[in-house]
Amino acid sequence: MIDRYTRPQMGAIWSDTNKYRIWLDIEIAATEGQTELGVVPREALETIKAKANFDVKRILEIEETTKHDVIAFLTNVAEYVGEPARYIHLGMTSSDVLDTCLSVQLKQAGELLLQALERLRDITARRAEEFKYTLCIGRSHGIHAEPTTFGLKFLLWHEECKRNITRLQHAIETIAVAMISGAVGTYEHISPKVEEHVAQKLGLQADTVTTQVIQRDRHAEFLSVLAIIGASLEKIAVEIRHLQRTEVLEAEEYFSKGQKGSSAMPHKRNPIVSERICGLARLLRGNAIAALENVALWHERDISHSSVERVICPDSTIALDYMLHLMNNLLDNLLVYPDVMRRNLDITCGLTFSQTVLLELARRGASREDAYAMVQRNAMQTWQERKPFLDYLKADADIASYLSHAELDEICNLEKSTRNVDAIFARCGL
């Protein structure tokens, strides 16, 4: 991922230094396990633990010759350790190190993403309460439908965020497995007890059964969950992009002092954060597809997945970390305009009460078909002439046979739109 979208803490997880540190932790933990089984002399283990180290530049230099990253790493470590280095990597294959390391990195990255999701959960809860009763128009097909509240929009995002937290927790559990099982996963040259020791040291679970690699359905699940979270963020961003349109302007991104919206037009305040989130969500979906393509490998393994994962795992976690950072700041500082919301509610001259009148006519004895026809003809006049819907309803003789003017005034009341908001919030624990 380019530096522009890489935040330091997440970027550090995918650095060469962190990767090689995890590799070294795996190798030392495996040597400890071998020592406990009597395969490696304890003196050799103590020397390894005391001297083992690595130098990133030196590893890359060696790899220029070996064309093999794990061999280059082991060669560099041996330069520090000396003769006891022959006990390192006993009975292991490269994938034991690579796949177990990737599990650790994805777990580290997932836990960082969880923290950001938990912050998003808290922000959406707070702002849902803030705008719990703030009336705004609800839209279906982009057209004014019936009133809702802006707090319910935030509550919807809050609940989706909670589901995403659960999804990510499960995905982390799924990916957090160690594999130290040898060339084709049969433990022919190493005991399963070594794998269990390594897993325990690294905060992982020993995988149940592997080939030469951890099976890629685990990684596909993890990347798919990241894509789902990205889609949720895009959903919020699309809503904000619409609400910030000049002719709507019910909410907008915070515009800081000195910020510029356009190189050509000084008046512009563009929803650039929301648009950036939407763009990055596309990358997450594409990477999830690539992860699914990685599930099917030849026999006990091939390396067609490897080059893909070197891109999609860092890029997806880095991108989502950045997206969550943007979204948290966006929603925390979102500018909300209740007066404009109320003004927009009135744009259709009261047409939002059409269903209310329809249902009341049906309750008073009109057939649904007749009630619909009565309401619709007055609604169409309102659309065409832009005069109050209520005026047309009161002037309609057929409607007057069911509802008085006072009754129409009573039922066409915006405040009743919030009467069940408390119940919805209570369902969500707020």
Catalytic residue numbers read 141, 262
Q: Which amino acid is at 400?
A: A
CB 202 within 8 A of CB 104: yes
CA–CA dist 9, 20 (Å, integer): 17
Q: Which amino acid is at 134?
A: T
Tokens 């919805």 belong to which residue? 424
Contacts of 292 (CB under 8 A, 6+ apart): 220, 224
- Residue 233 and residue 324 in contact, taking contact as beta carbons nearer than 8 Å: yes
For residue 136, the SS3 value is strand
Query: Under the phi-then-psi rule, with left for phi > 0, alpha for psi from -120 to 50, and beta for the rest, what region is 269?
Result: beta
Task: List alpha helices for 209-253, DSSP H.
Answer: 217-243
Q: Pick from 48, 212, 59, 236: which is nearest to 158 by CA?
A: 236
What is the 8-class DSSP label of residue 210?
Answer: -
